[in-house]
Structure 1
Amino acid sequence: MLLKGAVDTVGDMVGGYSGYNPVANQYYGPGEQQGAMWRTVSTLGLTAVPEIQGVFGKTAGQTTDVAGLFRRTENVGDFADLKVPMQMRYVEQAAEDGGVGLQGVKVRIVRDPDLIGKNLYGYTHPNGSIDLYPDAFTDTEQLVKTLGHERTHTMQIDIFGHPNTYGDGTMRQLMLNENAAHGIENSFWQYYPQNNSGKLEQFR
């Protein structure tokens, strides 16, 4: 399973992630906001809850989306340029095709138009739940990579605990684990052609 490779990649790195949390409006230092640091968003143990316009339950298979977007096959309005529909069924299909196991993981889709084009893709909460931001739905490749990246973070937390328990070493561990998740995410996309169901090809 690809996620086993992600854990192997982590090595002595411990749980957590790094970047910018647009909800809490907190950043890294100026020199640390490059490349992989944008991939995931978090704060040091802060559990800020973003305003969610669509909440999806994996077992229930239904949404409380007030915009009435459930079961749409394309995005509308501010999100029309995003190729993959912002629906849980497409998230689940991307995870399956990319070899990302989401069993037991709560995933939420955040429909905030202010985040479009910000190169912010996902946020893994300290409890292991995942938020997906609009740019994650840019195309199939981005969605698969984002899911693999964030799922790696949930495994880091499960195995090593949250980084805010490491005192003065917290920032170092955040950066190490962000680099590990960034390094493994392309493996999920490489796996995709071997396991491709064809259901997401139109969104590539």
Structure 2
Amino acid sequence: MTTATMVYIGIDSAMSGFGFGPEYETEIINQEIGGKLICESVYNADHHSWQFNIDYKYINQKGDTIDFSNGGYYGREWNKDEQIRQLNDWLILKTGAWHGSDRIILRNNKTNKIVTYDIDNQFIERQGLWQKQNIESLLNYCCAESFVKTIKNNEIIVDYKYRTKEKEPDEYGKRQITFEIDEKSGDLTMKKITNANAVYSK
């Protein structure tokens, strides 16, 4: 293949949308609590991975536009299915964060306070209840995963997978973790750790 042919293929791929981005998209998601979530997405990719960076704005039933900060999906698809939950004065949005983790965004309707939590391995393992249990894990080894399973009332359930053996990359432990939202401050605290054999509660 000649250099000229290779250049032509590269240009043709870029012109046909097969390149690495950026690609821009606006998605409007109807919300079960009423109103619409406006998602402004930028997609980028390289030879190793891809990502969606998303800015969120919520238009409530009164027509007010509420800034909801941002999230991202790194190395995984964006399902375009985000749903805002309501807990008294708080609005709760689950989105993606860095590789293998989710983000929780809380916004207070009265004060406009925004609190953001990246539910990653660092956040999980610095919680007092986790440290108290002396669970064997390798915090800085690839590749932990922590994804929000459900949000119900003031409880957030997270499935956490973590590395346990230095020389055995396929050895993982798994726990299901319950976090609780403080309805006054918006603080998120670990309340329960569950595995197949035991439950550890604060």
TM-score range (shorter-chain normalised) is: under 0.3
User: Which structure has the higher relative contact order (CA within 8 Å, separation 6+)?
Assistant: 1
Structure with the higher fraction of residues in helix conformation? 1
Structure with the higher fraction of residues in strand conformation? 2
Q: TM-score, normalised by structure 2?
A: 0.27
Q: TM-score, normalised by structure 1?
A: 0.27
- The structure having more radius of gyration, on CA atoms, is 2
